[in-house]
Amino acid sequence: MPFWREVDGTLREIEGSFARYVDSLAPYFDEIVLCAPVLKAPRGEGTAIRSTNVRLAPLPHFDGPLQFYPMVPVMLPALYGFVRDVDVLHARVPTPAAVFAFDFARLLRRPTFLLVVGDLRALLPTMPYRGVKRALWRTYTAFEERNVQYMADRSLTFANGAALAAKHSREGHVVLQTQTTTINAGEISTREDTCAGPRVRLLTVSRIDPRKGLRILPDVVATLVALGVDATLDIIGPAVGAPGEAERRAIESAAETRGVRERIALRGAMPLDRLLPVYRDHDIFVLPTLPGEGIPRVLLEAMAAGVPVVTTRVAGIPSLITDGQNGVIVDQAAARPVAEAVTRLVTDATLRRRVIAYGYETARAHTLEAQAARMMQVVSTQLGVALRQPAAASAA
């Protein structure tokens, strides 16, 4: 995730999920050296890293492999210097820089642990490329998939959700399941119900690109209106690259064609600290995501805010959500089943309140504090690393 440094020295990250993750690990270490791409100028508001023991080892900015590999002659000395300067390497993958840092860590005998957060192979069917571009992306995907498995086979590895953990586990070497999250214990709401007004306010939080299934959302809203549900939809998140911009235009065009343009607002990117309270202004959270990610952290954000979730049965989502208990899952990212799931929540108050109540339980079990404590206990035990004990854990 790209960072930038403010004039006062504060480090900020565009989306905020990684910044919060770093803050959750910081109490366990004397110092965290953050090796990440750095922007030359701020991009939006961003989310600040609050921990004072985080230091930056900057990399030139890159959005993906197309920008990274031409800069390898510059990247390698920076990555080697970073690894040489740390006692333990932690890498979130997939990212093109990780395998180089990993090999430097093996060379320098630095203990390493990974967190696998995405599945590039599962993304292939949804990539918008054709012809030569598609062939090149398929080749890169195979290369990066081999890199991730190579690292997972040789280090302590966590994965975001059961599907990714199973994919990368091998006989005699088990990858441990976790769930990435952004919520603190103090941010969990207490409201017991939603849908109190005549209009149902839907929310989707997601990067806008073809892999997220967002193009069906205008049809979802139109179907709801046809079913007698007076619904509006806010979509919060940035368009990612040229494919994302094309997807945004397609969503706007579909909304116009289906006659629901005035009901749908694309609000762009929003920093995490400002985003989290926005969930509480909505009645139902909708994420018709496609295969390719572990467990979207926005599902836990919605649960923590007391917003019932409608999402798809893909990737690691079924390991977090039980249909009819802490969310409603549809088998297909299509307008009709998603709209019918939303209608069930709108019309069935008992179901809605149960989903909200169990959503709170799920959120409490997957706070940043809980996730970090579980992971660091394993890291300390399996890697033989002496970690600091956070004050809250010590008091408990």
Going by C-alpha positions, the residue among 371, 288, 363, 301 that lies closest to residue 333 is 288
Is 70 exceeded by the pLDDT of residue 31?
A: yes
Fold for 3-183+367-395, please state it.
Rossmann fold (3.40.50)
Predicted structure pTM score? 0.85
pLDDT in tens, 245-278: 999 999 999 999 999 999 999 999 888 889 999 9
CATH of domain 185-365: 3.40.50.2000
Report DSSP state, residue 329. E
The more confidently predicted of residues 138 and 345 is 345
Q: Given pLDDT bands bounded at 50, 70 and 90, which one contains residue 395?
A: very low
Q: Given pLDDT bands bounded at 50, 70 and 90, which one contains residue 394?
A: very low
Which pLDDT value is given to residue 8? Answer: 87
The more confidently predicted of residues 147 and 120 is 147
Q: How far apart are CA 95 and CA 98, in angstroms?
A: 6
pLDDT in tens, 165-212: 999 999 999 999 998 899 998 999 999 999 999 999 999 999 998 888
Is 60 exceeded by the pLDDT of residue 116?
A: yes
What are the backbone angles phi and psi of residue 221, rounded to the nearest 5°?
-65, -45
Is 70 exceeded by the pLDDT of residue 393?
A: no
Beta-strand ranges (E) seen in the chain are 3-5, 11-13, 32-38, 47-48, 54-60, 89-93, 112-116, 156-160, 176-178, 200-205, 231-236, 264-268, 284-287, 309-312, 328-330
Q: Give the mean pLDDT of 314-333.
A: 93
Which pLDDT value is given to residue 166? Answer: 93
Q: Given pLDDT bands bounded at 50, 70 and 90, which one contains residue 63?
A: confident
Which pLDDT value is given to residue 210? Answer: 84
Which pLDDT value is given to residue 323? Answer: 96
Residues of the chain with CATH 3.40.50.2000: 185-365
For the chain, give the mean pLDDT.
Answer: 92
Q: What percent of the chain has pLDDT over 70?
A: 99
**Cβ distance 61 to 2 under 8 Å?**
yes
Which pLDDT value is given to residue 392? Answer: 58
Is 90 exceeded by the pLDDT of residue 243?
A: no
For the record, the structure tokens of 278 come out as: 């926005």
Instruction: To the nearest 10°, report the CA torsion of 1, 136, 124, 160.
Output: -30
pLDDT in tens, 272-294: 889 999 999 999 999 999 887 77
For the record, the structure tokens of 246 come out as: 């094309």
Could you tell me the end-to-end alpha-carbon distance of the chain, in angstroms, rounded to an integer? Answer: 33
Which pLDDT value is given to residue 396? Answer: 36
Which pLDDT value is given to residue 66? Answer: 87
Q: Sign of torsion, CA 97 102 104 105?
A: positive
**Cβ distance 311 to 327 under 8 Å?**
yes
Report DSSP state, residue 233. E
Q: Give the mean pLDDT of 111-140.
A: 86
Is 90 exceeded by the pLDDT of residue 148?
A: yes
Q: Give the mean pLDDT of 339-349.
A: 97
Report DSSP state, residue 116. E
